[in-house]
């Protein structure tokens, strides 16, 4: 039944009042400080480690995870969990090597980093690009996919769901990063609790289908009846090899995607840039622990739905409008089976994930526009109050643009691929530009421009190369696989790895040529002492590393 009961609405209202009330209290308590632009955009010195960690996860997890990743779990199984588990490893590296460089050099935005390390031209080009990417791709897709998911569960119209999500997110975002950061703690609580409820239901349904009870029995039965869905490393003959090409998740392009997202992304790094280094590192470590839990919430329900489908359940509920089985319908189908009250809790969890992501993304848009475009180009004399006012106007404007564009994008519930396709064209170049800027003093501005523009062009070339060249010869070494039409193409993650390598080579050649002419690059303040970590952080990192080794060894 695609509608909410009265008890569900009561539970959801309880969630809304807690988040809105707590956010309003935080805003009133810190209202005077909000006149400071850095306080408003970054919550400078105000967020605790647990608020930073929770905000990282709340901003990251949205409808594309709940719906898209569950759908991937239905289609290809636990292998898609690599996006979450490898992110945990990436977060530790970002905390150790990236954050100290940002904080030591007083970096508050990613364009500011590019301006400090390279020049204003590189910074301005990337600022404009990031704004377009965040508004047209990320914000709109999060809004549309979120509304689509909520509509399919509640029975409310798509437009109404979209408007309500936008208003709720604006309400949270206008309070500044303090409000976002601390309300994200509540959002994550509902996200995890509601997600675990859905997972419990899914595993218990599997157990009951085979005449027993209990989530452990359900999980054991899933491994028995869908053993092929419990392999982390896909073989070349797997139909989903193009999505997750074997060892690439451990040794190749998965690292490029993760480092670009977690280490070079305003939307993510902004949560920690206003804190001191120990607090930032502890917050990121907390986020890494939460990342280990995410596949339990977003992947296992999809696998459970696959097993239930195999056994005769959901034969019509999982069909899309064209009569084809759609794994992205798995999570909404499971939620609609929850009893009144629990369905409201899981509905609140999904809403929490979407609203937190919308608020985080919108705040990042406002930060980049205000600090890197408005303050530097449009009004260099703008005081703190004016910058905060402009930031708030941008928040509303960005959301209005997203509401207008979203219905016309033509994306569906497979939006995880939509986001990856567009961001993946530039991630290798961006990461190459950052990593070379961090650790090689000779890297020049022209080399950075090459990575930005050249990386995009290389990605486009490799994307459309199968249309002009037969790549079947690469299949024997795992660098190509046949798609649904029988055309051999390079897997997405491998393409990212190849483009990254080309960018690094190009940057090295350009920088060496320019250095030979006596042209000096702008170096950051970096020394080895920045990378020392506390004993507690080291212990936590080793625990995460040990758990990751155990998980991959168990489900290889």
pTM for this entry: 0.85
388, 119 in Cβ contact below 8 A?
A: no
- Residue 87's pLDDT is what? 92
Give the residue from 142, 144, 150, 196 showing the smallest Cα distance to 356. Answer: 142
Confidence of residue 421 (pLDDT cuts 50, 70, 90): low
Which residues are CB-neighbours of 214 under 8 A, at least 6 positions away? 204, 207
Q: How far apart are CA 243 and CA 109, in angstroms?
A: 32
Q: How far apart are CA 387 and CA 375, in angstroms?
A: 7
Q: How far apart are CA 145 and CA 163, in angstroms?
A: 13
**Across the chain, what does the average pLDDT equal?**
82
Q: Residue 125: pLDDT above 80? A: yes
Mean pLDDT value of segment 33-40: 57
442, 515 in Cβ contact below 8 A?
A: yes
Residue of higher predicted confidence among 204 and 414: 204
Confidence of residue 476 (pLDDT cuts 50, 70, 90): low
The pLDDT tens digits for 159-169 are 888 888 888 88
242, 483 in Cβ contact below 8 A?
A: yes
Q: How far apart are CA 415 and CA 428, in angstroms?
A: 21
Confidence of residue 289 (pLDDT cuts 50, 70, 90): very high
- Residue 413's pLDDT is what? 43
302, 331 in Cβ contact below 8 A?
A: yes
- Classify each residue of 340-365 as buried b or exposed e, where b means 16 or more C-beta atoms within 10 Å of its C-beta: eebbbbbbbbbbbbbbbbbbbbbbbb
Confidence of residue 484 (pLDDT cuts 50, 70, 90): low
Mean pLDDT value of segment 308-313: 85
Residue of higher predicted confidence among 554 and 470: 554
Residue 466's alpha-carbon distances to 239, 370, 460, 471, in angstroms, are 18, 42, 11, 6
Portion of the chain with pLDDT greater than 90, in percent: 14
**CATH numbers and ranges of domains, the chain:** 46-210+259-413 (1.20.1730.10)
The pLDDT tens digits for 490-509 are 888 888 888 999 999 999 99
Q: Residue 367: pLDDT above 70? A: yes
Listed in sequence order, the DSSP H helices in 271-341 are: 277-298, 300-310, 330-335
429, 503 in Cβ contact below 8 A?
A: yes
373, 110 in Cβ contact below 8 A?
A: no
- Residue 68's pLDDT is what? 79
């Amino acid at each position: 039944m695609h509608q909410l009961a009265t008890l569900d609405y009561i539970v959801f209202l309880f969630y809304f009042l807690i988040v809105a009330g707590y956010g309003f209290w935080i805003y009133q308590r810190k209202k005077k400080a909000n006149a400071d632009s850095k306080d408003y955009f970054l919550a400078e010195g105000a967020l605790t480690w647990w608020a930073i960690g929770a905000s990282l996860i709340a901003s990251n997890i949205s409808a594309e995870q709940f719906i898209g990743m569950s759908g991937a779990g239905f289609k290809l199984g636990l292998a898609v969990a690599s996006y979450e588990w490898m992110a945990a490893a990436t977060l530790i590296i970002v905390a150790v090597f990236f954050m100290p460089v940002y904080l030591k050099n007083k970096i508050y935005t990613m364009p500011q980093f590019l301006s400090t390390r390279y020049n204003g031209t590189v910074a301005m080009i990337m600022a404009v690009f990031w704004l377009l990417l965040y508004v047209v791709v990320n914000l709109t897709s999060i809004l549309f996919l979120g509304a689509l998911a909520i509509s399919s569960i509640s029975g409310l119209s798509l437009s109404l769901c979209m408007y309500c999500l936008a208003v709720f997110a604006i309400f949270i975002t206008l309070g500044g990063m303090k409000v976002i950061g601390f309300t994200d703690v509540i959002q994550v609580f509902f996200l995890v609790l509601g997600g675990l409820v859905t997972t419990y239901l899914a595993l218990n349904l599997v157990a009951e289908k085979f005449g027993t009870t209990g989530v452990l029995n359900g999980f054991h039965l899933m491994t028995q009846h869908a053993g092929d869905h419990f392999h982390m490393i896909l073989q070349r003959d797997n139909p989903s090899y193009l999505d997750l090409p074997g060892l690439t998740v451990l040794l190749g392009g998965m690292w490029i995607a993760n480092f670009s997202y977690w280490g070079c992304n305003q939307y993510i790094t902004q949560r920690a840039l206003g804190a001191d280094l120990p607090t930032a590192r502890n917050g990121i470590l907390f986020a890494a622990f939460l990342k280990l839990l995410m596949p339990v919430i977003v992947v296992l329900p999809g696998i459970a739905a696959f097993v239930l489908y195999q056994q005769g359940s959901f034969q019509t509920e999982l069909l899309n409008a064209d009569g084809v089985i759609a794994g992205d319908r798995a999570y909404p189908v499971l939620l609609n089976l929850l009893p009144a009250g629990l369905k409201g809790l899981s509905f609140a969890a999904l809403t929490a994930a979407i609203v937190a992501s919308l608020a985080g993304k919108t705040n990042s848009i406002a930060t980049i526009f205000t600090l890197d475009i408005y303050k530097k180009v449009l009004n260099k004399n703008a005081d703190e109050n004016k910058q905060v006012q402009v930031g708030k106007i941008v928040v509303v404007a960005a959301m209005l643009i997203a509401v207008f564009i979203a219905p016309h994008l033509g994306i569906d519930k497979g939006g995880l691929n939509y986001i990856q396709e567009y961001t993946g064209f530039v991630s290798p170049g961006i990461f190459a530009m950052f990593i070379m800027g961090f650790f090689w003093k000779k890297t020049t501005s022209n080399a950075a421009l090459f990575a930005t523009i050249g990386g995009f062009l290389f990605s486009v070339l490799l994307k459309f190369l199968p249309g002009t060249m037969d790549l079947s010869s690469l299949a024997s070494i795992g660098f190509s696989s046949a798609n649904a039409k029988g055309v051999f193409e390079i897997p997405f993650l491998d393409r990212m790895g190849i483009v990254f390598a080309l960018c690094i080579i190009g940057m090295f050649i350009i920088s060496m040529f320019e250095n030979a002419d006596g042209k000096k690059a702008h170096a950051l303040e970096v020394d080895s002492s920045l990378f020392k970590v506390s004993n507690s952080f080291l212990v936590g990192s080793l625990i995460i590393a040990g758990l990751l080794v155990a998980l991959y060894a168990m489900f290889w």
